[in-house]
Chains A and B, each alone.
Chain A
Amino acid sequence: DTAVSQTPKYLVTQMGNDKSIKCEQNLGHDTMYWYKQDSKKFLKIMFSYNNKELIINETVPNRFSPKSPDKAHLNLHINSLELGDSAVYFCASSQDRGSWDYGYTFGSGTRLTVV
């Protein structure tokens, strides 16, 4: 059973398109996150939701919009895709905001390529 699953695994799309990445966790965690890993391999947090409430919103272009229909799902919608959006996007979840006991569980990533 996959704890944090993301779909799709690979996404190739043209500039200007709108796309969504889905994330689901079956761990019963309360908090979910989106991270972006760019070509230089830096991992940066983008958003975090706790029980469907947005709690972290880093400096991210407003073309990126997270949506959490319930605490087990956190989707990422990207409008008007740009070349610079090409990256690997990781979803993660944790039991609580600070995740003292077990840390974050990350998904396997979605490699987005904008051409």
Chain B
Amino acid sequence: DAKTTQPPSMDCAEGRAANLPCNHSTISGNEYVYWYRQIHSQGPQYIIHGLKNNETNEMASLIITEDRKSSTLILPHATLRDTAVYYCIVAGNTGKLIFGQGTTLQVKP
């Protein structure tokens, strides 16, 4: 079973920041938080991951709370092409990503 909880759906206006929350209250000390997205029937795409510190790359920012029990993925300027299902995943070194239901983000013009 997935170890994360995400809202099933969210809307965001084009050009605005999309903030996607994720709860992972049972995360272990050696587990990372990963974010992937799946755009309509394509293969899932890696976005970002982190352990404790906040992370930023060209796609997004990841904010992890100090207690590591929750995190937020931030897409700074959402576009219509960011409409997708976003998965928050907690995983250790087993090499096994367990996908939950994810959050369907709809970016609207």
Contact = CB atoms under 8 A, between A and B. Distances in A.
Interface residues of A, number: 30
Contacts of A103: 34, 36, 46-47, 49
Counting chain B residues whose Cβ lies within 8 A of the other chain, the interface size class is: 20 to 34
A41 B85 contact: yes
B59 to A, nearest CB: 11
Nearest to A6: B43
B92 interface: yes
Interface of B: 32, 34, 36, 38, 41-47, 49, 85, 87, 91-99, 101
Interface of A: 4, 31, 33, 35, 41-45, 48, 50, 55-56, 88, 90, 92, 94, 96-100, 102-109
